[in-house]
A = this chain, B = another copy of it.
Amino acid sequence: MTGFVADTTDLLARTPILLRTLLGGLPASWTDTPDVADGWRPRDVVGHLITGELTDWMTRTQRILEDGTAVPFDRFERFAMLERDAGVPLDDLLDRFAELRQANLARLATMVNETDLNRRGMHPALGEVTLRQLLAAWAVHDLDHIGQIYAGLAGSHDPDVGPWKAYLGILLRRDDPSAVPG
């Protein structure tokens, strides 16, 4: 496997395995804290990723291939998970996400190849985008939100590290985003 589609799929396929490794059965002492005040707990992030599998990335891929720029993408419901997933255990959300991601990547493999990457679609706010940009954004969106999960996990133990907080940028940035780069 080489090429942009294969390399992007490689990363996308790791996310559900990784989230189970990180969060499956993890004690609530780690998982009940949002990334920032009024932010998302790990379960909310997994729910948001589920929404992306249900309504965003593959739906938009299909729209690019079928309609090009003629029909703009539907908007992405960023908070759909808060009501939909209320009361669903985190481990069930991880399973649900894994099933959806696996099915979507199987579909992607049948629908898209390297020669499609410059095909264009219309984002309702961002304007014209390419399929290549959509697939890259899908993968980086995973990375972005997993980073948010890490911030929540770290935040759960903010009171426990004592003076070490001064060295832990992931905690300092929860209080002040400009505190420590990187």
Contact = CB atoms under 8 A, between A and B. Distances in A.
Q: Which of A123, A169, A182 has the most CB of B within 10 A?
A: A182
A22 B132 CA distance: 22
Contact of A10 (B14, B17, B27, B180): B27
A26 B10 contact: yes
Please give the count of copies of this chain that the complex contains: 2
Interface stretch (A47-55, A82-90, A156-164): A156-164
A151 B147 contact: yes
A150 B153 contact: no
Nearest to A6: B27
Interface in A120-137: 123, 126-127, 129-130, 132-134, 136-137
Interface stretch (A29-37, A61-69, A107-115): A29-37
A173 B141 CA distance: 14
Interface string A135-150: 0110111011011101
Interface of A: 2, 4, 7, 10-11, 14, 17-18, 21-22, 26-27, 29-30, 35-36, 39, 123, 126-127, 129-130, 132-134, 136-137, 139-141, 143-144, 146-148, 150-151, 153-154, 157, 160-164, 166-171, 173-174, 177-182
Which 9 A-B pairs give the minimum distances between C-beta atoms? A178-B178, A136-B160, A133-B162, A137-B164, A144-B170, A126-B163, A143-B154, A177-B181, A36-B182
